[in-house]
Amino acid sequence: MAQRMRTSFERILLCVAAFALFAACGPAKPGTTPDAGVIAAARQPDGWDSDVALKPAEDVNPDSRIVEINLEARVENLQIKPGLTTPVWTYNGTLPGPLIHAKKGQRLIVHFTNHLAEPTTIHWHGLRVPAAMDGSEAMQSPVQPGGTFDYAFDLLDSGTYWYHPHINSSAQVGYGLYGAIQVDDPDEPADLGDDLVLMLSDMGIEADGSLTPGDQSGWFGDYFGRQGNTLLVNGKVMPKVRAKAGAPQRWRVINAARARFMKFSVPGQKLIRIGGDGGLMTAPQPLDVVLLAPGERAELFLLPKHAAQDSVTVQWIDPDIFHLGQVGPPIDLFQFEVTADPEWKDGPTAPPAALRTIDPIATDGAVQQLLELTEQNTNGNITLGINGVPSSQATPLMATVNTTEVWTVKNTTNYDHPFHLHGFFFQVLDLNGVPPSATEWKDTFNVPANKTMRFAVHYDNRPGMWMFHCHILDHADLGMMGMLHVMEP
Ligand code: C2O
Ligand code: CU
């Protein structure tokens, strides 16, 4: 009891301290060097994405069936905040790393070199790769400093994905190691707007420009999740996205923060969600507010229109994941401006009512798995875990290839946990008995405090050891992680 009271009190203190930091950070000037590789669609206004466009990875293989790239993890001095130099951990020197843009069915080959001072790996978040390519510590020995590793796999699914390390991942992701992957499907509805990948994150940057240590505040940092004091959109502080009235944009939003949930709306504009983690969903879903847990993605259709104010600040809204009943002030994220250009009249003005066909996974006779997300106290030592034990004491779940399971994931704690399964998409059946309004492929799903989510998953023929964990990466470190061994019969 004393322990519980103490943690609640300290939790509040920590929140107060965090708000103070945010307030001190405030809005700053947008980045000054627009990235190369800007693909400005004719109907968008000049420079519409020049602040945020991601540099595409260079494909060194002329074979159209293969995308082959070189990726280097290395520290690069970048100016993230005006006047400060920050030694960011990068892929190929940029924050985020290069955009891997490919087509469904292509093979991706990545020659990876580790120029960091510590071991790392790359995990291809959401992609259905063979287990040996998954980059988790369960399947790959770490790439040592100076070492190399070749990743190679086929891109089986369209959608918006991302890559990040899976060793010391909370610290390494927080230092800047993340990049986006966009896989296009030539068979999807023709025009869903002009693509814009927006990777949302945060970074702890000290007054002298140095990075806040990834293990700052020890146990408290793990428990509350480390939220950097600087909010970033594609590595920039408060960049600007421009739009022309009537010219649709398709935002592919990725939450790459190690712990921060991203909640926002665009004042004066309507957002329609058309996809999530694993590409398009079956039907569009109008949204007032977008909420993305760490690791999750959303594809949004935005038809810009003139509003009371044509230049608005999109702000991060406190999602109150600890359910304290009090929210902190909003924080500026990016600027959205509808230009004075004449309105674009050639549509489309809305996404089609039927976006994609996804067959529901048949669950008759499915094996049931019950998982509880737990907080446990062993002699005053509070850890997070699954089914009452931290990952260090857990035994793997066993499953068989070519079978279907239904997982019940019950959050028994008083705060939210985004549940992530490696290797296989799942379909959410219900959250506390309420089914989702449309069908979609998920790999990360926020299970709110004291709620229960059920999902169906089919294991295709990719045997191996797969991880599942809370994607608040600090929570994974504190033990909320487990393993799934998918075996051949
Ligand atoms: Cu994106 Cu195991 O994580
Ligand atoms: Cu968690």
209's tokens:
């420009």
What number of other Cβ atoms are within 10 A of residue 365's Cβ?
7
Q: According to the model, what pLDDT value does residue 152 have?
A: 98
Q: Rounded to the nearest whole angstrom, what is the distance from the C-alpha of residue 38 to the centroid of ligand 2?
A: 36
Pairwise CA distance, residues 328 & 251, whole Å:
26
**Closest residue by CA, ligand 1 atom 1:** 125
244 lines ligand 1 (CB under 6 A): no
Distance of CA 98 to the CA centre of its chain: 16
Closest to 200 in 3D by CA, of 299, 96, 271: 96
Pairwise CA distance, residues 20 & 429, whole Å:
40
233's tokens:
């959109």
63's tokens:
């074979």
Pairwise CA distance, residues 470 & 417, whole Å:
6
Query: Which ligand 1 atom sits nearest the alpha carbon of residue 476?
Result: 2
Phi-psi region of 37 (alpha: psi -120 to 50; beta: other; left: phi over 0): left
What's at 418, amino acid-wise?
P
Phi-psi region of 74 (alpha: psi -120 to 50; beta: other; left: phi over 0): beta
81 lines ligand 1 (CB under 6 A): no
297 lines ligand 1 (CB under 6 A): no
252 lines ligand 1 (CB under 6 A): no
Distance of CA 167 to the CA centre of its chain: 17
- Which DSSP letter does residue 393 get? G
From the CA of 477, the nearest ligand is 2
Q: Rounded to the nearest whole angstrom, what is the distance from the C-alpha of residue 468 to the centroid of ligand 2?
A: 12
Q: According to the model, what pLDDT value does residue 42 have?
A: 79
Query: Which ligand 1 atom sits nearest the alpha carbon of residue 295?
Result: 1
323's tokens:
């359910």
Q: According to the model, what pLDDT value does residue 151 have?
A: 98
In terms of Cβ atoms closer than 10 Å to its own Cβ (0-12, 13-18, 19+), residue 400 is middle
Query: Which ligand 1 atom sits nearest the alpha carbon of residue 469?
Result: 2
Q: pLDDT means per 10 residues in the chain (489 residues)?
A: 38 39 34 32 90 98 98 98 98 98 98 98 98 94 97 98 98 98 92 96 98 96 96 98 97 98 98 98 97 98 95 97 93 98 93 97 97 95 97 96 98 98 98 97 98 98 98 98 97
What's at 144, amino acid-wise?
Q
Q: According to the model, what pLDDT value does residue 41 have?
A: 52
Helix (H, G, I), strand (E, B) or coil at 475: helix
Pairwise CA distance, residues 265 & 174, whole Å:
24
On whether the CB atoms of residues 177 and 88 are closer than 8 A, the answer is: no
Q: Rounded to the nearest whole angstrom, what is the distance from the C-alpha of residue 123 to the centroid of ligand 1?
A: 7
Q: According to the model, what pLDDT value does residue 116 have?
A: 98
User: Look-up: residue for tokens 């600040």?
Assistant: 313
Q: Rounded to the nearest whole angstrom, what is the distance from the C-alpha of residue 354 to the centroid of ligand 1?
A: 30
From the CA of 124, the nearest ligand is 1
* 3-class SS string, 125-155: ECCCCCHHHCCCCCCCCCECCCCEEEEEEEC
Query: Which ligand 1 atom sits nearest the alpha carbon of residue 136?
Result: 2
Pairwise CA distance, residues 277 & 418, whole Å:
13
Pairwise CA distance, residues 408 & 417, whole Å:
14
Q: Which helix (H) or strand (E) holds 413?
A: none
From the CA of 411, the nearest ligand is 2
Pairwise CA distance, residues 301 & 252, whole Å:
9
What number of other Cβ atoms are within 10 A of residue 167's Cβ?
19
From the CA of 170, the nearest ligand is 1
Pairwise CA distance, residues 83 & 77, whole Å:
12
125 lines ligand 1 (CB under 6 A): yes
**Closest residue by CA, ligand 1 atom 3:** 125
Pairwise CA distance, residues 416 & 320, whole Å:
9
Q: Rounded to the nearest whole angstrom, what is the distance from the C-alpha of residue 486 to the centroid of ligand 2?
A: 24
CA-only gyration radius of the chain, Å: 22
Whether the CA torsion 80, 202, 160, 75 is positive or negative: it is positive
Whether the CA torsion 376, 378, 381, 385 is positive or negative: it is negative
Pairwise CA distance, residues 180 & 252, whole Å:
10
